[in-house]
């Protein structure tokens, strides 16, 4: 007997739960660095972006499966395209500050990656999602040592976030 049967889930439901947990975990991996560095957008946001992307992806796949079973045509990639557009909008909000200054490029880029990680997990590519999250977190961590390079030479220097 499999663990999903012991918990009362069918295979599909257990698979969804596994994908969502992986998306949450991968989002947390990305958000930990931001949280430790006391950035405006931290671990909760990254987990929510990754989880949301996974949910939209799972729903689009399930919806397409149901539509095909009913004899209708479906294109789940359109939901994914909308998701990517929404992530761009979220990133733009991180870049454009309230005082009309521009900053937060690293935050916008890492939110974009968090969405891609959730998308990967939602599609069932959990290993890709987790490895991508680890690689992106490594980039964020290593960039910490380069954050202020050349800053003393620029009077207008402002931190990324």
Average pLDDT, integer, range 86-100: 80
Cα(68)–Cα(60) distance, integer angstroms: 12
pLDDT computed for residue 8 by the predictor = 57
- Spatial contact of 67 and 73, defined as CB atoms under 8 Å apart: yes
pLDDT computed for residue 117 by the predictor = 97
Secondary structure class of 96 (helix, strand, coil): strand
Residue 43 domain-assigned (yes or no): yes
Residue 137 reports pLDDT greater than 90 = yes
pLDDT cut 70: percent of the chain above it: 80
Query: CA torsion sign, 39 to 42 to 46 to 49?
Result: negative
Residue 87 domain-assigned (yes or no): yes
Name the CA dihedral angle for 3, 11, 53, 116, rounded to a multiple of 10 degrees: 80
Residue 71 domain-assigned (yes or no): yes
Residue 36 domain-assigned (yes or no): yes
Which of 93, 113, 112, 111 is CA-nearest to residue 103? 93
Residue 154 domain-assigned (yes or no): no
Q: What's the pTM value of the predicted model, to 2 decimals?
A: 0.80
Least confident of 32-36, 128-132, 148-152: 148-152
Cα(46)–Cα(23) distance, integer angstroms: 10
For residue 102, what are the β-bridge partners? 96
Residue 112 domain-assigned (yes or no): yes
Domain count, the chain: 1
Residue 127 domain-assigned (yes or no): yes
- Spatial contact of 15 and 7, defined as CB atoms under 8 Å apart: no
Rounded to whole angstroms, what are the CA distances from 50 to 111, 122, 157?
Answer: 8, 9, 31
Average pLDDT, integer, range 98-110: 79
Residue 161 domain-assigned (yes or no): no
The whole domain housing 112 covers 7-144
Q: Which residue has the higher pLDDT, 126 or 147?
A: 126
């Amino acid at each position: 007997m499999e663990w999903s049967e012991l918990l009362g889930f069918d295979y599909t439901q257990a698979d969804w739960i596994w994908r969502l947990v992986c998306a949450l975990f991968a989002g947390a991996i990305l958000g930990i660095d931001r949280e430790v560095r006391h950035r405006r957008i931290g671990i909760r946001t990254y987990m929510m972006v990754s989880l949301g992307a996974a949910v939209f992806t799972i729903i689009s796949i399930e919806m397409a499966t149901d539509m095909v079973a009913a004899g209708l045509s479906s294109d789940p990639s359109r939901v994914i395209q909308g998701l990517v557009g929404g992530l761009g909008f979220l990133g733009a909000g991180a870049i454009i500050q309230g005082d009309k200054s521009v900053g937060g490029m690293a935050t916008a880029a890492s939110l974009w990656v968090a969405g891609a990680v959730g998308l990967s997990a939602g599609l069932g590519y959990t290993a890709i999602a987790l490895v991508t999250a680890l690689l992106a977190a490594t980039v964020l961590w290593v960039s910490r040592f380069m954050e202020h390079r050349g800053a003393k030479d620029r009077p207008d220097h402002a931190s990324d976030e």
